[in-house]
Structures are given as C-alpha cells and as structure tokens.
Amino acid sequence: MFRLAHLSDIHLGPLPPMRRRELISKRITGYVNWKRNRMRTHQPEILARLIDHLSTTSHDHLAVTGDLINLGLLAEVENARAWLSSLGEPEDVTVTCGNHDSYVPGILSKAFTFWSPWMSDDAGKAAARSEDFPFVRRRSGISIIVCNSARASMPFMATGYFRSDQARALRSILKTEGEAGNCRVILIHHPPFLRATRWHKRLVGASLFRRAVAAEGAELVLHGHTHLASVMAIPGKARPVPVVGVPSAAQAPGGKRPAARYNLFSISRPDREWEITMDEYGYGDHADAVEHLGRKRLA
C-alpha cells in the first residue's frame, strides 16, 4: 500500500513588504485582489492547522500542485522554499508550479531555482526551465510524472499552457512507465478536462494532454487551480482516467469556495489492476478543525 497526499493552491501569506515599483506590472491587479479578498479568505493559520493534521497521517509522499505564492515576488519564492523545507525531505515531496508562481515574466525561473530540490528527477536533475518537463519520480511502483502548465500571462488572465513538445514527452513517459507495470500519477496545475474553467483561466493545449493520456493511459491525474473539490475523468488507453482537484489549502471556512482540505490516496495492486481509494480531510463549511470528510473509490 502506497499513500500519496495531495495539496494545492497554497497562496502563502501574508504578503512580504514590497516597493512601489514592484507594483508597476500585473502585480497591481493581484495586489488589489489580495487586499479586497484573498487576505481574508486565504489564512495562514488555516493552512498551518491543515499541515499539522497532514503530519499525523502515515503518508509516503506529498504532491503539491502549484500556486505556492501570490504576486510573483522574489521574497515570496524564498518564503515558499522555507515552507517546503518544513514539509519533509525533498525526496518525499514533489512540486509543480501554477500561474501565480509565474505571475510576472522572470519569476518562474526563480521558482525553478529555489524549489529545485522538490522539482528534481530520480537522478537529481532539476527542472531548470519549462522544457525540462515532464520529469518522473519513482516510488515503490508509483511513477509520479510532473508536468508544467505555468507561464506568465497578461493581466486579468490565468491561463496555463501545455505544448506539443511536452505532450510528446508525456506520451513517451506514460508508455515506458506503463510497460514497466507502474502506477502512473500525473501532476499538473491547470485541470485538463473539457470546460474545466472559464476561458481566461483555461489550459491552452489541454487537448494535447488528453490525447497523450488517451494513447498510452494513466492511473490518476492530480491538479489544482480551480479551488474546488472535483472528481472528473478523461479517456485512457484501456479505461477512463480519474482527474482529481482539491480546494486551496489556505481557504477559510464560510467563503464562496470550499474550505481548505487535502486528499490522501491509498494505492495498491492486490491483483493485476491498480486500486485507488481517496480519503478527503479538511474543514467543514463552518468548522474550526480538520476532520475526515469522506472516502471515494476511484479505481
């Protein structure tokens, strides 16, 4: 039995001090949004209690699917590195980036550098640029395949991008890991299924992702971005592939979006087929403590 935990959309706060000139960019709209909304709905103490609860589970690995930061400030990237260090050893935690981690041009490369211990393959090669994705981390028969959808976008846009070169590489990896008999779990920030988000938040190239999975198959896809609890499916080679999203790990109860939670996947292979069960842990709509919210059989 392998137990894989999943967090997403951390949105670490509070915002660090910044100079006025740092707001002369897309950051100004994000800053206004933070002041009006996110600073109240995304609360550090909510995240801290969720992580405390997660630490009591006997999970083997943790996947974090992006949006660790908010406005693309270097100080935020540095703070996120310290937060990642608090979660455990880098070999036990895998990260991919989201649109807030690439909020302005140039910051994504900083994230790749500062978070490289959590974004390296089994040989220790770090993903230093977008072209280095996808990469694979293998753990006890589980192949954690890390894709990247993060790229700087225009103001009022939160699009992700998945291009043909990454699609070709993903298809090759899925084929290799499938032939090895491994359970293939794909991490990506933006959801890849049809009509997953509004137009300005969509994954450009989602059809390329779906074609790769349809051609070679996978066992599970994990994403963030929507701040919603969702279980969808996309076509696979032999059977539909579950696609699971999780609410923001810092979302306070009582808001428009579901309160913070994490998912814990129990993966086993008692016979020829992989079995996957998902347990959801988080805050109820008005709860002040983390609790078990439900269980779903995915495969």
Closest CA to 222 of 178, 180, 267, 263: 263
Q: In this predicted model, what pLDDT tens digit does every residue of 151-190 receive, in sequence order?
A: 999 999 999 999 999 999 999 999 999 999 999 999 999 9
Tens digits of residue pLDDT in 180-230: 999 999 999 999 999 999 999 999 999 999 999 999 999 999 999 999 999
**Spatial distance between the Cα atoms of 209 and 228, rounded to a whole number of angstroms:** 21
Give the position of tokens 């109860």. 253
pTM over 0.75: yes
Structural domain spans, the chain:
2-297
Residue 12 pLDDT: 97
pLDDT tens, residue order, the chain (299 aa): 999 999 999 999 999 888 887 787 889 888 888 788 887 889 999 999 999 999 999 999 999 999 999 999 999 999 999 999 999 999 999 999 999 999 999 999 999 999 999 999 999 999 999 999 999 999 999 999 999 999 999 999 999 999 999 999 999 999 999 999 999 999 999 999 999 999 999 999 999 999 999 999 999 999 999 999 999 999 999 999 999 999 999 999 988 899 999 999 999 998 889 999 999 999 987 778 999 999 999 99
State the Cα–Cα distance between residues 28 and 103, nearest whole angstrom.
11
Cα separation of 259 and 241, whole Å? 26
DSSP assignment of the chain equals -EEEEEE------SPPP--GGGGTTTHHHHHHHIIIIIHHHB-HHHHHHHHHHHTTS--SEEEEES---SS--HHHHHHHHHHHHHH--GGGEEEE--GGGGSSTTHHHHHHHHTGGGSB-TT--B--SGGG-SEEEEETTEEEEE--------TT---EE--HHHHHHHHHHHHHHHHTT-EEEEE-SS--STT-S-GGG-EETHHHHHHHHHHH--SEEEE-SS-S-EEEEE--SSS-EEEEE---TTBPTTSSSPPPEEEEEEEE-SSSS-EEEEEEEE--TT-SS-EEEEEEE--
CATH architecture of 2-297: 4-Layer Sandwich (3.60)
